[in-house]
Each structure stands twice: as structure tokens, then as C-alpha cells.
Amino acid sequence: MPIRQILTAPDPRLREISKPVKKVDDELRALMDDMLETMYDAPGIGLAAIQVGVPLRVIVMDLSDSDDKPEPRYFVNPEILDPSEDMSVYEEGCLSVPDYFESVDRPSQCRVKYLDYDGNEQILVAQGLLATCIQHEMDHLEGVLFIDHISRLKRDRILKKLKKEQRFKKVMDEDAPTDGLLQ
Ligand code: ZN
């Protein structure tokens, strides 16, 4: 299962709206396997397909403690149903906005309708971290990042720093030796 490259902000692809999946087949399951592997490797607790450059409505997640048995979750074409009026606040981070964490308010509970790994329809009642995480990942499907929920001033500052870091990284990569010795 190959590990895929995770896009980081301000990559414009992260602003795309993802398309519904037509069929849960082996090709899609291969994508979900890759996404899960990529997420564990990062490491992170959730990943949307657009974060690896695939604009499809697919999310993988695992909220188990690192010492426990893995509990992978797969959501295809997820929809949020009846989000609660009461909100909870979590310090959120994102593999596409590396090294930045900000508090975000979201409904503390919701139901999620989705297709699972085998293409069967499921409904899940989500609360706590699971509710926050699924809503964070759902945002990715609409081209929204968690930093869109914070003040514009803070967001612009983060994006500016990320852009600068990427430019620096690109220069370093170009300067790296290209002979076979390092392979
Ligand atoms: Zn994210």
C-alpha cells in the first residue's frame, strides 16, 4: 500500500469541492487503504481524499489511542444529519496545515449517514472528538480548512508562514545532490 503525498495549504487543490463516489469498488477500497496508511504514517487521526489530491467524497479516520488496537473508520459520501445546537470547542490541527493548532467551535453532536468500506449504508451517532473530527473532515470535502473558522488575521498569518516554509523547502530540494549515492 503506497503512502501518498499530503497536500499542504495554500495548495489550491485543497479548495476544490469533492465529487460524490458513484460506486464502492476495489479501486476505491485501494484508495481508502492508501489513505489510511498515509494517515498512520503522518501520523494523524483523520484524512480526506482531497488531502492526497483526489477530489472524491471519501474520509478515513482512526481515533483509537496509539497503544490500542487500530480502529479504522471509512466514510464514503458522508452527510451530516441534525447537528446539535450546543457546541464544543477543540484545539484542532490538520495534516494539510502542519504545526498549527487553533480552537474551533462546532456542534457537539450529530448523526452521519455514509457508505462503509463495503458500500453498505450506515448511520452513526457522533459526539465528542468523533463529532469534531467528522465535521473537520467533511469541511475538506467542501474545500474548507479549519483555519477558515478562526479570525482572518490569524489565518493570513498562518498561510503566509506556510508559504514561506514551502518556498524554503523547495530551494533545499533543488539543491540536494541528485547522483545515485543517496538512493
Ligand atoms: Zn484537516
Q: Which tens digits make up the pLDDT trace of 119-130?
A: 999 999 999 999
CB within 8 Å of 130: residues ≥ 6 apart: 63
- How much is the pLDDT for 178? 55
Q: Which of 85, 92, 137, 142 is catalytic?
A: 137
Confidence (pLDDT) at 89: 96
Tell me the residue length of the chain: 183
- The C-alpha cell of 31 is what? 484508495
The overall average pLDDT reported for the chain is: 93
CA of 97 to the centre of ligand 1 (A): 7
Distance CA(149)–CA(37), nearest Å, equals 28
- Is the pLDDT at 171 greater than 90? The verdict is no
CA 132 – ligand 1 centroid, Å: 11
Ligand 1 geometric centre to CA of 140 (Å):
7
* Residue 130 or residue 67, greater confidence: 130
pLDDT band at 182 (very low <50, low <70, confident <90, very high): low
pLDDT at res. 56 = 98
Contacts 24+ apart (CB under 8 A), 66-71: 70/40
**Dihedral in degrees, nearest 10, Cα atoms 94, 96, 99, 105:** -30
Q: Average pLDDT of 67-96? A: 95
Please say if the pLDDT value at position 180 is more than 60: no
Cell of 30: 485501494
For residue 27, the CA-to-ligand 1 centroid distance in Å is: 23
User: What is the grid cell recorded at 181?
Assistant: 549515492
What sign does the dihedral 102-31-61-19 (CA atoms) show? positive
Mean pLDDT in residue range 144-155:
96
Residue 137 annotated to the active site: yes
